[in-house]
């Protein structure tokens, strides 16, 4: 198992009606009055005391060109360009045999990160890569009026033909390689797309019926048996919104802190783990600090507690 990690910040925030002006990644990095530890301090502790090799590579900044496109309302093009910058940075980690952990930003950054993973492993090496998408929402809205963070999976799977969007087939995400965990709030078009494409969906109803441990066991068995690599895409709003409200779209009835830590730890402990992203956390909505502590703990579950 590799233990070399890159932290990559992706502060691209176009959350529908909520557009953060703050650097969301720096909110996690910094120690402040609501939290006794920041991600930067915690990385230092893991490196110094546990012999970990974690490097904070800084942020992939939103360029003036991208800002300009957003202000002109050309958001699809803005995302296309930002994603190409982010993809290059993530590919750099893969070239150096390091495991990228990307911190958003909104969930649309997955267009860049997952394209990098598919380019490096699926296209160049012919490997089979699974994407575990942990979220309250399906993020595959394929209608023209969808928000950027509501459609990254539609974009990645070539299910969004508007504005000339298409992905070359060798780096396209195959619907059968997507594994949803925690869904509970779908649009009708998303429900129909999941049915039509037959995407594996461990939604909250399934989790309640079968129990979380059984679902994680089933998920991990399939991933270990059928795939060469596993990438985790974790949206903060997968957590129960009645407790964890530090995002644009809190949604009640979701995962507990313990369940989410167990899930992240289970996936990251696999020898097939190739990277993760943690998205949609909004520091300015985190008045208690509990959300920040959990976010840092979730990220730490990737490199910590190794058996």
Binding site for Mn ion (CB under 5 A): 107, 135, 139, 235
Residue nearer to Mn ion on the CB measure, 100 or 105: 105
Beta-carbon-side half-sphere exposure of residue 52 (alpha carbons within 13 Å)? 22
Residue nearer to Mn ion on the CB measure, 27 or 254: 254
Instruction: Tell the smallest beta-carbon distance from residue 112 to Mn ion (Å).
Output: 15
Instruction: Tell the smallest beta-carbon distance from residue 233 to Mn ion (Å).
Output: 8
Instruction: Tell the smallest beta-carbon distance from residue 65 to Mn ion (Å).
Output: 25
CA–CA dist 174, 131 (Å, integer):
10
Instruction: Tell the smallest beta-carbon distance from residue 139 to Mn ion (Å).
Output: 4
Residue nearer to Mn ion on the CB measure, 95 or 188: 188
Residue nearer to Mn ion on the CB measure, 54 or 238: 238
Instruction: Tell the smallest beta-carbon distance from residue 279 to Mn ion (Å).
Output: 7
Residue nearer to Mn ion on the CB measure, 87 or 107: 107
Phi, psi (rounded to 5 degrees) for 225:
-80, -30
Instruction: Tell the smallest beta-carbon distance from residue 152 to Mn ion (Å).
Output: 7
Residue nearer to Mn ion on the CB measure, 43 or 111: 111
């Amino acid at each position: 198992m590799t233990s070399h990690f890159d932290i990559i910040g992706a502060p691209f925030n176009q959350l529908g009606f909520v557009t953060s002006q703050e650097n969301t990644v720096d909110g996690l990095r910094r120690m402040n009055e609501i939290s006794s530890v920041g991600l930067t301090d915690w990385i230092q502790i893991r490196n110094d005391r546990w012999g970990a090799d974690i490097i904070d590579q800084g942020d992939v900044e939103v360029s003036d060109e991208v800002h300009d496109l957003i202000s002109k309302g050309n958001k699809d093009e803005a995302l296309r360009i930002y994603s190409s910058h982010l993809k290059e940075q993530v590919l750099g980690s893969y070239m150096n045999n390091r495991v990228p952990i990307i911190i958003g930003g909104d969930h649309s950054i997955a267009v860049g990160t997952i394209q990098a993973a598919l380019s490096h492993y699926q296209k160049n090496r012919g490997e089979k890569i699974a994407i575990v998408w942990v979220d309250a929402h399906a993020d595959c809205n394929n209608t023209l009026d969808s928000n950027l963070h509501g459609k990254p999976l539609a974009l990645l799977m070539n299910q969004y033909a508007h504005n000339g969007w298409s992905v070359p087939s060798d780096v396209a995400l195959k619907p059968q390689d997507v594994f949803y965990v925690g869904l509970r709030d779908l649009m009708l078009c998303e429900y129909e797309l999941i049915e039509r494409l037959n995407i594996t969906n461990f939604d909250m109803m399934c989790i309640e019926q079968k129990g979380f441990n059984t679902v994680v066991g089933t998920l991990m068995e399939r991933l270990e048996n059928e795939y060469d690599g596993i990438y985790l895409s974790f949206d903060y709003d997968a957590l129960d919104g009645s407790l964890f409200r530090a995002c644009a779209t809190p949604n009640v009835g979701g995962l507990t802190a313990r369940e989410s830590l167990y899930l992240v730890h289970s996936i990251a402990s696999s020898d097939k783990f190739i990277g993760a992203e943690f998205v949609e956390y909004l520091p300015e909505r985190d008045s208690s600090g509990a959300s920040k502590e959990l976010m840092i703990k979730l990220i730490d579950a990737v490199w910590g507690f190794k058996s």
